[in-house]
């Protein structure tokens, strides 16, 4: 029975792409196959993915084909010729370690980000879960993953941003091929999922790509766009992600850069009939605004050489008032003044499905004293990846197409 369950689970994950991906280029087909290879037969149904959680903390997730427990074995020892002493990490909440589900998580803490990290996941299927005795099958281990050192000399950091993939996971590899190296991490900046309806959709279009990036030594951070808040499975995303402080928004320091990652919320009012009275974003965004107002006063933010904001919906001073949708108005009227107050250097967004750079407003009295880099969207000919390179003296941002075309770029010097 268990082998049948495993086979059915794996078949569901490997089943094939959505209809939108049926006609793809050779590059896209190869990219899609590489990502689908992260879904594997056996106990480990999706290989592990790595999520950023801040300095010295890393979230690891993976899927199992049967209800199980989960532990991550990790080390920073390489090529010593001696047996490796693996340390263990897991996820616990309210005194209970995660168990008896198929979505597995662990949190690695206390590692040295200036050194590479090596890890693998381990799970045991639970055949019986009684109050005072749990029966486990033999443990299964994932493939091993190696992440390069995240902390580099001179405050250097390089990261890439994707947006508006809309389930077209075949786009990642051709775009990554244009991004260049090194890459310390990737941000999935919203609408990478298209209104998720099931765990299988989340696995195919979010978790497998994150596992694919991790296999290439690139940890990820996932930001919601307006489409990740829709669909029957939208409320299950946190089951698969290990987020800083349990929130979809955060701020992290990477070398010389302070990077604020904001959750944009929905693009229409809470009262819109499309939401069936089941959303509460207006109040949620007020909470996030209060948090961000505190963030821009912190020493970590104020003393950073470069201050960057990544958010799905762009704040755009050019759009006539009568054409603004609710989410875009909120970004422009509520968040943008805080971007000015905090003296951010640039904002990176998506949502509009058109690659461009929005220059600072020529009327200084209006604010908007920073550029907005907006990424493109499908098809491959219009899709983009945004690359950010920073160190103690220089910041550079480029928006690149799948053919290497530079759609927008800017450099700053200190």
How sure is the predictor about 324, in pLDDT bands with cuts at 50, 70 and 90? very high
Contact between 350 and 191 under an 8 Å Cβ cutoff? The reply is yes
Would you say residue 155 has pLDDT above 70? yes
pLDDT, one tens digit per residue, over 349-402 is 999 999 999 999 999 999 999 999 999 999 999 999 999 999 999 999 999 999
CA 230 vs. chain centroid, Å, equals 17
Helix, strand, coil distribution of the chain in percent, nearest 5: 30, 30, 40
Domain end point (choices 91, 120, 147):
147
- Residues with Cβ within 8 Å of 411's Cβ and at least 6 positions away in sequence, in order, are 394, 395, 396, 397
80 to 84, 121, 305: CA distances (angstroms): 8, 22, 38
**Residues 321, 257 within the same domain:** yes
Shared domain check, 219 and 356: yes
Instruction: Give the pLDDT of residue 19.
Output: 40
| pLDDT given for residue 22 in this prediction | 43
Residue pLDDT, tens place only, 158-200 = 999 999 999 999 999 999 999 999 999 999 999 999 999 999 9
Residue 195's Cβ-side half-sphere holds a number of Cα atoms within 13 Å equal to 5
Mean pLDDT value of segment 108-137: 97
Same domain, 215 and 318: yes
- 36-78 pLDDT, tens per residue? 999 999 999 999 999 999 878 999 999 999 999 999 999 999 8
CATH code of the domain in which 119 resides: 2.60.40.10
Task: Using the 3D structure, point to which of 132, 147, 162 is the last residue of a domain.
Answer: 147
Looking at the structure, tell me whether residues 57 and 204 fall in a common domain.
no
Do 82 and 122 fall within a single domain? yes
Q: What value, to the nearest 5°, has the Cα angle with vertex 63 and ends 59 and 69?
A: 80
Q: How confident is the model at residue 4 (pLDDT cuts 50, 70, 90)?
A: very low
Domain membership of residue 182 (yes or no) is yes
- Which pLDDT does position 56 carry in this prediction? 84
Residue 24 pLDDT:
57
User: For residues 315-348, b (16+ Cβ closer than 10 Å) or e, as one string?
Assistant: bbbebeeeeebbbbbbbbeebbebbbebebbbbb
Q: Write out the residue range of the structural domain in which residue 389 sits.
A: 153-413
Beta pairing class for 185-189 and 157-162: parallel
The predicted pLDDT at position 1 comes to 52
Calculate the dihedral angle through the C-alpha atoms of 44, 244, 100, 17, rounding to the nearest 10 degrees: -40
Predicted confidence (pLDDT) at residue 12 exceeds the cutoff of 60: no
Q: Which residues neighbour 4 within 8 Å (Cβ) at sequence distance 6 or greater?
A: none
Residue 29 domain-assigned? no
pLDDT in the model for residue 266? 96
CATH of the domain at 387: 3.60.21.10
Same domain, 227 and 94: no
Say whether both 160 and 143 belong to one domain: no
pLDDT confidence of residue 79: 74
59 in any annotated domain: yes
Domain contains 302: yes
Q: Model confidence over 219-233: pLDDT tens digits?
A: 999 999 999 999 999
In this structure, the answer to whether residues 50 and 183 fall within a common structural domain is no
Cα-atom radius of gyration of the chain, to the nearest Å? 21
Residue 169 lies in a domain: yes
Give the confidence band of 82 by pLDDT, cuts at 50, 70, 90.
confident
Residue 32 domain-assigned (yes or no): no
Task: Please say which residue of 86, 121, 147 terminates a domain.
Answer: 147
- Domain assignment of residue 30, yes or no: no
pLDDT at residue 18, as a whole number? 42
User: What's the domain count of the chain?
Assistant: 2
pLDDT tens for each residue of 230-281: 999 999 999 999 999 999 999 999 999 999 999 999 999 999 999 999 999 9
270 with 352, same domain?
Answer: yes
pLDDT number for residue 84: 84
Q: What is the largest CA-CA distance in the chain?
A: 70
295 and 341: one domain? yes
**Among all chains, which residue has been given the structure tokens 């390179």?**
389
The answer to whether the Cα torsion of 28, 33, 38, 43 is positive or negative is positive
Same-domain pairing of 177 and 296? yes
Q: Are residues 213 and 142 in the same domain?
A: no
> Is 7 inside any structural domain?
no
């Amino acid at each position: 029975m268990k082998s049948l369950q495993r086979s059915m689970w794996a078949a569901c994950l490997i089943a094939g792409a959505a209809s939108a991906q049926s006609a793809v280029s050779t590059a896209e087909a190869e990219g899609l196959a590489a990502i689908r290879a992260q879904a594997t037969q056996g106990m480990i149904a999706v290989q592990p993915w790595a999520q950023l959680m801040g300095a010295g903390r890393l979230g690891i997730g993976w899927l199992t084909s049967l209800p199980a427990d989960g532990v991550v074995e990790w080390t920073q020892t390489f090529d010593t010729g001696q047996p490796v002493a693996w340390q263990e990490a897991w996820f616990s909440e309210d005194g209970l370690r995660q168990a008896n589900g198929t979505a597995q998580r662990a949190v690695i803490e206390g590692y040295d980000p200036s050194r590479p990290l090596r890890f693998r996941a381990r799970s045991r299927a639970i055949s019986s879960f009684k109050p005072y005795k749990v029966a486990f099958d033999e443990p299964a281990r994932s493939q091993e993953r190696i992440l390069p050192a995240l902390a580099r000399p001179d405050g250097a950091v390089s990261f890439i941003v994707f947006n508006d993939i809309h389930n077209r996971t075949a786009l990642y590899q051709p775009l990554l091929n244009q991004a260049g190296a090194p890459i310390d991490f990737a941000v999935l900046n919203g609408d990478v999922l298209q209104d998720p309806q099931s765990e299988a959709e989340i696995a195919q279009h979010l978790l497998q790509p994150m596992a694919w990036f991790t296999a290439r030594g690139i940890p990820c951070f996932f930001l919601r766009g307006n489409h990740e808040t829709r669909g029957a499975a939208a409320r299950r995303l946190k089951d698969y992600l290990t987020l800083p402080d349990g929130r979809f928004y955060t701020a992290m320091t990477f070398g010389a850069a302070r990077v604020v990652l904001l959750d944009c919320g929905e693009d229409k009012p809470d009262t819109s009939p499309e939401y069936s009275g089941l959303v509460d974003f207006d109040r949620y965004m007020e909470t996030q605004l209060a948090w961000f107002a505190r963030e821009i006063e912190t020493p970590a933010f104020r003393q950073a050489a470069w201050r960057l904001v990544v958010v799905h919906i762009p704040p755009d001073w050019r759009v006539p008032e009568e054409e603004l949708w609710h989410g875009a108005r909120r970004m422009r009227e509520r968040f943008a003044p805080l971007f000015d107050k905090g003296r951010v250097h640039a904002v990176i967004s998506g949502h509009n499905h058109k690659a461009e750079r929005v220059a600072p407003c020529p009327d200084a009295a209006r604010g908007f004293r920073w550029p907005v880099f907006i990424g493109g969207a499908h098809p491959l000919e219009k899709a983009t990846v945004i690359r950010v390179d920073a160190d103690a003296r220089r910041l550079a941002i480029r928006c690149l197409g799948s053919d290497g075309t530079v759609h927008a770029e800017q450099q700053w010097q200190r």
